[in-house]
Structures are given as C-alpha cells and as structure tokens.
Amino acid sequence: MRKIVSLLVAATLLFSCQTNKKEDTQTKDAIIISENVMTETVKALKEKFGDNNYRIEKGVKQAANLWRASDGNTEDFKTFCMNNFINNAKELDVVFQKVSRNFEIIYGYNNLITLQLLEPIHLTYGEPHSIDNIFGAYSPYAHINEDFYNNKIAFIIALNFPSYTLKEKSELGKEWSRKDWAYARLGDMFTSRVPANLLQAVTTAETNADIYIADYNIFVGELVNDKNQTLFPKGMKQLSHWNLRDEIKSNYADKEGGLEKQEMIYEVMKRIISQEIPEDVINSEEYQWNPYTNKTYKDGKEFVLDREPDTRYQQIINNYHALREVDAYSGNMDTYIKRKFEGSMEIAQPDVEVLFDKFLSSPQAKMVGDLIKKRLGRDLKPFDIWYDGFKARSSINQEKLDMVTQQRYPNAKALEADLGNMLLKLGFSKDRAEYISSKISVDPARGSGHAWGASMKGDKAHLRTRIPASGMDYKGYNIAVHEFGHNVEQTISLYDVDYYMLNGVPNTAFTEALAFIFQKRDLFLLDIKDDNKEKEYLQTLDNFWSIYEIMGVSMVDMKVWKWLYEHPEADAEQLRVAVETIAKDVWNKYYAPVFGIKDQTILGIYSHMVASPLYLTAYSFGHLIDFQIEQYIADKKFDKEVSRIFKIGRLIPNAWMNEAVGSPISVDPVLNATSEAVKYIK
C-alpha cells in the first residue's frame, strides 16, 4: 500500500507541474487558420478539382482546426492542402489500404508492449516492486498522435478522410457501404490534438487507480461478529467489490448461515464506501475486524487503528484532474462526459439518462421485487440488489460447485487447454473452435480478472482470471467464462472483419453483451444440466434484476462526474460526502419504493467508479443488447449467428443493432418479457 501511495503523490505533483506546461502549449499552439483562410483554400481546391467533391469542405475544415503555429503559417497550410488533397478515388483507396496496414502494425505492437509492461502488476508473478508500477504507468501510445501531427500524416488523413458527427453518421450511414464506414472510422482518428504529456498523465492516473483496486482485498476469514465468531474460512480473502459481491450472491444457496454472511459482507461494503474501514485491515490478515462495531483486535486485545484516509476518492479526483486537462484540446467534446458518451459510446449522455430512468421507474421493478421477497420469505435487504435466486446455480451448493471447478481447472493452463472444448459445446465446429481458441491465452490474474484483446492479426487475446493455489473456485470460473465471451468477440471482430479500421464493436457495451451471453451458459459448460421448465422465464427475470441493479450504479457514476465538473476544486473528503449523498438520492428515487428502505449507500461500492471512469454504463447497455441478441438467435444456430453478428465491426450502435437483430437498442423488449415472466412464475 505504501508503494502505491507514494506513486500517487508523484502523479499528483506531475499534474500540478503540467498546468503551466499546458498554458505554454496553448499560447504557442493556438489555432491560427481563420474562416477566411479556410474559405480561400476550399475555393482553390474546387477550382482545381471541381466543386462536386463533398470531402473538400469537410476535410479542409477538419485539418484547419488541428493546424497550429508550429505546423507552419497560413500560406504553408494552403500549400499543404493543395499538394495533399487526393481527388482520385483509386489513389484514395491505395492510401487507405497503406494507412490501415501501418496502423495495424503500430497499434498492434504498442498494445503488446503495454500488455507486457503491465504483467508484473496484473499477473501473479511475484510481488510487484514500485519500479513495476512506474513502468506500468508508462504509455507507448502517448506520443503517437503528436508524432503524426509533426510528420503531417495526421493532416493528410484529416484532409482526405474527414470525420462525421454522430448525427451525420446516423443519417448518412444508412446509405454507406462497408468501405464508406471504414473511411469514416479512419477520419475519426484525428479530431483533437492533445499534448503527449497530458495523455501520459491520464495513463498514470488510471494505472495508479487500477493498482489501488487490484490490491484491495479483504481477508474475510478475519471478520468477526458481535459474538467474536468468524463466519468464513481462515485465509479466505475477497477482492472489492467483485468477490465481495459474488460472495453475497453465492450465499443465497446457504439456507442456514447464508444470510448472516451476507449481512456481514454488506457491513464491510458500507465501511469501504464511507472510508471508515481501518486502513490496516485492507489486504492484511494481521487483525481481526468487526465491521458492525468497526473495532479491531489482535491476539484477543482491542487495537485502535486509523481509518483509510479517503484514498478511494483521491483516485477519482486524480483521474478527474488528468482527464479535465484534456478538455481544452478536445473541440466540441470539451468534457470527459461528452468524450465518453457522444465520443466513444456514440450515444448522448442525456439520452442515456432518459433511457435508464424509464427502466428504473418501470412498474416491473416493484413486480419483480415483490416476487423476490416472496421467494426469500423475508423483507428485502439492500444487498438483495444482487439477488441470485433466478439462476440455476442458486440452488446448487457453492462448495460442490467449487469442487467441480477446482478439479477441472487447477491452473491457468488447464483452462486454456479447455477453451476449444467449451466452444464445441456451444455448437462451434471443430475447425472453428480450434481457430478461435488458438488465438486466446489464459493468464493467472492478481485482480479479479479481465479480457485484453489483440490489436493486430497474429497476436492473441488474453483472458486474465484469478486462480488460487487450490484451483479455480466457482466464482472465479463464472468470471472467467464472462471474460472468455469478451475474448471470442475480440477475436472475431479483429480477424473476421473486412477492414482493419472497422475492427472491434461500436462500444464496450457490445462486447459486454457477448460476455453476458457466455456467462449465462457457465453451468452448461460444466456439464451441469438445467431441465427446469421455467428456465426461460427465470432467465428473463434474472436479466431484468441485473439491469435494475447496474443501471442504478451507472446513474450514480454519471451524477458523480457531473458533480465533479460543477465542483472542480473539490478534495477527496468533499467527494466522499457527495458520492454518499448521490448514492442515497438515487436509491431513494428508484429503490426505496421497491425495497421499503431509505438512505442506502450501496450503489457507491463499485470499483469501476475508481479505476474505470464512466465504464459502468456499458454493462447496462450490454444487458439490453444481450437480451435482444438472445431473443433473435433463440431459434437459430448459436455459432453461426455469433460469428455473423460480431464481424459486423465498429459501426455506430443502432446501425450495428439493426444489422445484427433488425431493431435498435430499446428497454421495451426486456420490460415486456419481464411482465410475462412474472405472470408465469407467480
């Protein structure tokens, strides 16, 4: 912990030093191309090539908005445009193919460098040294954009492959060919000009937050109740928030002691959110801790320990300051909120909030809540946002599931060797299963696990998953199957897509969709059959409740970032108070009417808020997309449809959805199916 904190201090100093650098850079590199110069340049190009080329005006404007004094004077700009605009369609295609090839090389190898530099932090290869943290925070990508502006490649691309707004893509994209979409995606590459030192600062802040979260373990075997009893095995540790949440989920099957365990974990979560947790119980089994009273003991004696000093919220502050420095260089995308939603997600943030409000306020929430209450035989408790009783596994003893997975997957290599077999079970042909699985490696993760895709053909996607010395437990396996779904998407959307510039999916929600689709089949892949006639309805209810939970968390995340922009000078303590207030407000609006309990902070526990700013929305959309895909492929061949759908590539979200399943993203299919499911299950 101390090594991490020292690195965070260094990062904070780096940000303060960069403020003056940014001012100097802005003064030196202000936009110098006026409207008159743009008009003159456009006129000259049209006189040379004719006025029917729609790319001239867009290309000149985009290049002009990126041109700085360091690139040359206004005459240099005019000369550059006259010499480098490509009017011939065949030549334009040749340049496109060459640029695509070279970017695959550049981004592919830089991705590999980043992946390998982070191995000491992400994987269980001994204890990380502070030098590993510094290397992990280094970004080989930081200078790429700057280099391409300096050698003018960025301007050649901006001039000849202009970018389109989200509105333009929505309207024009209906008539675009695959190549048109690929050209547009190349145009998206150079739309802002952020100094390399600011990009590096963003990477440093995000890596520090990632390190902090990856080491945030709670030794639950050292938790005691008011009777000084321990409820969990000695040495058992759970990563926050993932393993703590999954521990709550797993205990719905324990009818005797499960509820008490859930309540204890819930108290731990509340202490983490409020930062009342004693700092020395984090990632340590030196002390016993009663999360109800917040007292700590050692060798039977009470010890008074200092609380964690709002370190959790300092990570968010550091990320905010690093990302806010980028705002001034981002044109119309002048906040991280806009860049995240209108930019990378390509869905406007206000539209997201309206969609989520419709779902969270739906009468189906109360209907499903009442059903869960009846199934539990008790009033709902706040942690029942993670109710897991609609899944087949909820009726299977956790220890039995652990025995199955530990025996089958004693280490990462055993899981990797079984990936092809898992695909065979899902209906993929032998050749196809071998093709996909051969492009995925499994690594032992220090944290909860994640999927890291390749960025060039010939490289592999990586499935990182936590595997203890005793073998993979069921919770780890369930996460691993989720990550495997990501890897399958990453492989198909890289190797099978027709243009490199279209590789991937519209945004992270779409890869989450396939991850959820795989995760739901985890018991099937373990050869555990579920012959329940209510299975389809139960899956619908489970999907609804998962969306209901994660949309609330996403609402908190979005409102926190709005608050940060409204309070740019806030410190970690002020942010903590704000997060608790926002979490309570969201709870009271959408959950209190269902749960009958007010002022709960549980929606503030997600680690993504700390290490993955504004990522949580992807899970909400992922569930919606997952449901629509599942409905569409229900009577079709799983392998054929997965391969067809995920090679569509990186169109905008609704264009992708219309091509994949014939309809745009909507909450209505889930809400309608949920109403039917409640009637049937009742």
The three-state DSSP-derived secondary structure of 273-332 is HHCCCEHHHECCCCCEEECCCCEEEECCEEECCCECCCHHHHHHHHHHHHHHHHHCCCCC
- Which one, of 587, 238, 560, lies nearest residue 385 by Cα? 587
Mean pLDDT within 94-120: 95
Give the confidence band of 388 by pLDDT, cuts at 50, 70, 90.
very high
Rounded to an integer, what distance in angstroms lies between the CA atom of residue 564 and that of residue 257?
A: 41
Structure confidence at residue 529 as a pLDDT band (50, 70, 90): confident
Q: Which residues contact 644 (CB under 8 A, 6 or more apart)?
A: none
Single-letter residue type at 182: A
The pLDDT score that the predictor gives to residue 92 is: 97
Q: What is the mean pLDDT of residues 188-195?
A: 90
Query: Which residue, among 47, 46, 55, has the nearest Cα to 160 in the 3D structure?
Result: 55
d(CA 20, CA 8): 20
Q: Report the pLDDT value the prediction gives residue 122, as an integer from 0 to 100.
A: 87
Strand-pair category, 461-465 with 440-444: parallel
| DSSP three-state, residue 441 | strand
**pLDDT tens column, 225-282:** 999 999 999 999 999 999 999 999 999 988 899 999 999 999 999 999 999 999 999 9
Per-residue model confidence (pLDDT) at position 604: 98
CA–CA distance, 369 with 388 (Å, rounded to integer): 13
Closest CA to 532 of 542, 517, 519: 542
pLDDT tops 70 at residue 28: no
Average pLDDT over residues 123-139: 85
Residues 6+ apart with CB under 8 A from 613: 206, 316, 319, 320, 323, 336, 340, 557, 561
Dihedral sign for Cα atoms in the order 490, 492, 493, 494: positive
- Tokens for 594, please give them: 């269902």
Express as a percent the part of the chain with pLDDT over 90: 81
**What would the mean pLDDT of 353-369 be, rounded to a whole number?**
98
Q: Which amino acid does the sequence have at 136?
A: G
pLDDT value at position 9? 30
Task: Give the start-to-end residue ranges of the domains of the chain.
Answer: 2-200, 214-312, 325-390+532-681, 397-525
- Is the pLDDT reported for residue 412 higher than 70? yes
pLDDT digits (tens, 9 = 90+) for 427-485: 999 999 999 999 999 999 887 778 999 999 999 999 998 888 899 999 899 999 999 99
Taking a C-beta distance cutoff of 8 angstroms, is the pair 592, 598 a contact?
yes
pLDDT for the residue numbered 11: 35
Give the pLDDT of residue 6.
32
In this predicted structure, the answer to whether residue 193 has a pLDDT above a threshold of 60 is yes
Q: Is the pLDDT of residue 663 over 90?
A: yes
Question: What is the rounded average pLDDT of the residues 534-558?
Answer: 95
Which two structure tokens, joined as six digits, stand for 288? 């016993």
Q: What is the pLDDT of residues 592-635, one digit of tens each?
A: 999 999 999 999 999 999 999 999 999 999 999 999 999 999 99
Q: What is the pLDDT of residue 27?
A: 42
The pLDDT value given to residue 393: 66
Q: What is the pLDDT of residues 289-330, one digit of tens each?
A: 999 999 999 999 999 999 999 999 999 999 999 999 999 988
pLDDT exceeds cutoff 70 at 8: no
Helices (H), 430-495: 430-437, 474-495
What pTM value is reported for the model?
0.83
Chain segment 482-519, per-residue pLDDT in tens: 999 999 999 999 999 999 999 999 999 999 999 999 99
Q: Helix crossing, 535-566 with 668-681: angle to 10°?
A: 140
State the pLDDT at residue 198: 92
> Do the beta carbons of residue 182 and residue 501 sit within 8 Å?
yes
Mean pLDDT estimate for the chain: 92
Q: What is the pLDDT of residue 26?
A: 45
Q: Which contiguous run of DSSP H or E holds residue 443?
A: strand 440-444
Buried b (16+ CB within 10 A) or exposed e, 200-209: bbbbbbbbbb
Please state, in angstroms and rounded to a whole number, the distance separating the CA atoms of residues 607 and 605.
Answer: 6
- Token representation of residue 228: 């000084």
Dihedral through CA 164, CA 167, CA 171, CA 176, nearest 10?
Answer: 30
